[in-house]
Amino acid sequence: MKILIADDHDMLRDILVQFLENEGGFQTVGVRTFDEAAVRIKADDPYDLILLDYNMHGMNGLDGLKAAIAFGEGHRVALMSGEANKQIAEDALEAGAAGFIPKSLPAKSLINAIKFMAMGEQYAPIDFMTAIKETLHNPLVDKLTERELQMLKGLTEGKSNKQIARDLEIREPTVKLHMKTLYRKMGVENRTQAAMIASEAGLF
């Protein structure tokens, strides 16, 4: 499957590209702006799926989505975001998006969603779309303790548990315990997902 990923957060984009390539069966291209994505969409052979970050430079939200869809036939375009709410997801689907992917989606679910959309189906997580309570701002700062925020900052900087322990002058097993609590509070499965959400929210 040929996938184009457009996201101006370099770490997030590179992680996603690498993740798909490690999975096997994916040919991925990564760009960092909407303008770069537009050039590739117009010049390249049709992609099976194009993933656009809702907040990236030049995107202009749903306007960018609609423009990408209009660039040419044969391209399926999906929106991804770490902060967009249910209404934005619904508007994207109504505008013709192949789907909406929250960046907090578990790894296996992400792979399945991409395959699902690339095969011509429309996707959005049921639990996200049926959520009663919507948060208009990122709640992480309120949910996490100061120590957990320090852990999260270390993750976004690509540090190992050992490096974080050294920086904070604590033992590595203590870091591991804090990480487990951090993942639970954030609703993620691993450090990659936690770092992606924190970076997307602009916490550090």
How far does CA 69 lie from the centroid of its chain?
20
Q: Do 184 and 115 sit in the same domain of this protein?
A: no
Pick the closest to residue 37 from 18, 60, 11 (CA basis).
60
pLDDT average, residue stretch 163-181: 92
Q: Are residues 93 and 7 in the same domain?
A: yes
Quickly count: other Cβ atoms within 10 Å of residue 132's Cβ: 5
Rounded Cα distance, 165 and 96, in Å: 47
135 lies in a domain? no
What is the average per-residue pLDDT within 148-159? 88
Verify that 84 and 18 share a domain, yes or no. Answer: yes
Rounded average pLDDT over 66-95? 85
Are 31 and 115 members of one domain?
Answer: yes
The answer to whether 184 touches 141, Cβ cutoff 8 Å, is no
Calculate the dihedral angle through the C-alpha atoms of 68, 4, 183, 179, rounding to the nearest 10 degrees: -130
Lowest mean pLDDT segment, chosen from 15-19, 23-27, 159-163, 200-204: 200-204
pLDDT tier at 132 (50, 70, 90 boundaries)?
Answer: very low
Residue 134, pLDDT score: 45
**Element (H or E) spanning 155, and its range?**
helix 146-156
- Does residue 12 lie within any of the structural domains? yes
Question: What range defines the domain where residue 82 resides?
Answer: 2-129
pLDDT band at 127 (very low <50, low <70, confident <90, very high): low
Spatial distance between the Cα atoms of 179 and 75, rounded to a whole number of angstroms: 39
